[in-house]
């Protein structure tokens, strides 16, 4: 009998164990366990996945749009980061900015229009060109991604962090989003983003079933989030966008916490542009080798294409244990 390559045997073995755990384990936080186990599998098999920032925009493809979601999924991207705001009538929609001016044909605050008014607008691509896309609801985004990618929710309150209304707004967006996720039966495929322990505590109180991406550094360890009730098993550690920190990655691995590293940012200053300079993109697969489990990027298609076949095959097996079937890709 032909023997499988070692990396596939390791990943398949992990997946079988995870599948059994998912089928028989009893947990007080349904949703966390299968997804947490899938990310554990990535770390244990020293592989990683790509996260498309704002779902993965490009020419003719607006950020936070259904076309971006579909394109990223088709390329085998495993994680979709999207921004969630509330319409005037309380419906969670995908929108990054506080106003509509940059990304749509509308003007003024996102929260100033009802859903029907928002969906009458056209979306613009990153260069400002009009597209046929319209503002999607979170429900539409989850339906499009269902079973094919992890969806990571970045909460947008529509007000500044020092606004007295911030906490109430943050709580309202999280509550509305969690309700849609639960109604869509997508708990096991959704995570939230928290930038501070305060945000994490709010999210955990409303959605204790959810994994969270939490911002950590040498000065803000994962233990800073424990007071809000979030367990280590439910954490993904976002480690910044400046430069990979091997010491921090190793420390997180010892705590069984998965690493997110961002190559995204302002055009001309982000690592995505540095990596693209020579047209090679090898740095993305080197990030995975260095201990990164999730690469958050504005260049999702290039990053995905740079990963090796062993990396993508092992990652696909890990995610399959949580019910996510990735589109096949051809690695290097």
pLDDT in tens, 73-103: 999 999 999 999 999 999 999 999 999 999 9
pLDDT in tens, 207-225: 999 999 999 998 999 999 9
Q: What is the pLDDT of residue 29?
A: 67
Rounded Cα gap, residues 230 and 200, in angstroms = 8
pLDDT in tens, 99-117: 999 999 999 999 999 999 9
Compute φ and ψ for 299, nearest 5 degrees. -120, 60
Residue 12 has pLDDT above 50, yes or no: no
Rounded Cα gap, residues 107 and 79, in angstroms = 30
Residue 58 has pLDDT above 80, yes or no: yes
Cα distances (angstroms) measured from residue 72 to each of 145, 214, 302: 10, 23, 11
For residue 244, the cross-strand partners are none
Q: Max CA-CA distance within the chain?
A: 67
pLDDT interval class at 31 (50, 70, 90): confident
What domains can you pick out in the chain, each with its CATH number?
47-308 (3.20.20.190)
Q: What is the pLDDT of residue 332?
A: 74
Q: What is the pLDDT of residue 32?
A: 84
Residue 213: strand, helix, or coil: strand
pLDDT in tens, 141-196: 999 999 999 999 999 999 999 999 999 999 999 999 999 999 999 999 999 999 99
Rounded Cα gap, residues 332 and 319, in angstroms = 20
pLDDT interval class at 329 (50, 70, 90): confident
Residue 151: strand, helix, or coil: strand
Average pLDDT value for the chain: 92
Instruction: Enter the tokens of residue 44.
Output: 């244990």
Our CA dihedral for 309, 311, 317, 319, rounded to 10 degrees, sits at -130
pLDDT in tens, 240-293: 999 999 999 999 999 999 999 999 999 999 999 999 999 999 999 999 999 999
| For range 308-330, the mean pLDDT | 94
Rounded Cα gap, residues 294 and 12, in angstroms = 20
pLDDT interval class at 7 (50, 70, 90): very low
Compute φ and ψ for 76, nearest 5 degrees. 90, 10
| For range 2-19, the mean pLDDT | 40
Our CA dihedral for 299, 304, 306, 308, rounded to 10 degrees, sits at 160
- Around 214, how many Cα atoms within 13 Å sit in the side-chain half-sphere? 33
pTM of the model: 0.91
């Amino acid at each position: 009998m032909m023997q499988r390559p070692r990396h596939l045997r390791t990943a398949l073995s992990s997946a079988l164990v995870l599948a059994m755990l998912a089928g028989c384990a009893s947990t007080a936080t349904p949703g966390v366990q299968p997804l947490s186990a899938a990310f554990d599998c990535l770390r244990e098999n020293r592989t990683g996945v790509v996260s498309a920032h704002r779902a993965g925009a490009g020419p003719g493809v607006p950020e936070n749009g259904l076309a971006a979601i579909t394109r990223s999924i088709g390329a085998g991207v495993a994680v979709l980061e999207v921004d969630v705001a509330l319409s005037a009538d309380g419906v969670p929609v995908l929108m990054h900015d506080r106003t509509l001016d940059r990304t749509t044909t509308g003007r003024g605050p996102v929260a100033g229009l009802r859903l029907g008014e928002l969906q009458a607008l056209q979306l613009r691509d990153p260069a400002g060109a009009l597209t046929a896309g319209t503002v999607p609801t979170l429900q539409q985004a989850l339906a499009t991604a269902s079973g094919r990618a992890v969806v990571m929710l970045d909460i947008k309150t529509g007000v500044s962090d020092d606004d007295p209304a911030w906490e109430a707004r943050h709580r309202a967006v999280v509550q509305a989003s969690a309700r849609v996720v639960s109604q869509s039966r997508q708990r096991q495929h959704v995570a939230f983003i928290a930038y501070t322990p305060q945000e994490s505590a709010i999210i955990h109180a409303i959605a204790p079933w959810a994994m969270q991406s939490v911002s950590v550094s040498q000065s803000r360890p994962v233990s800073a989030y424990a007071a809000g009730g979030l367990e280590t098993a439910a954490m993904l550690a976002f480690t910044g966008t400046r430069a990979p920190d091997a010491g921090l990655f190793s420390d997180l691995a010892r705590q069984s916490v998965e690493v997110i590293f961002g190559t995204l940012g302002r055009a001309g200053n982000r690592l995505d542009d540095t990596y693209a300079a020579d047209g090679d993109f090898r740095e993305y697969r080197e990030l995975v080798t260095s201990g990164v489990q999730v690469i958050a990027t504005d260049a999702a298609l290039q990053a995905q294409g740079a990963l090796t076949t062993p990396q993508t095959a092992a990652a696909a097996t890990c995610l399959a244990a949580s019910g996510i079937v990735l589109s096949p890709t051809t690695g290097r």
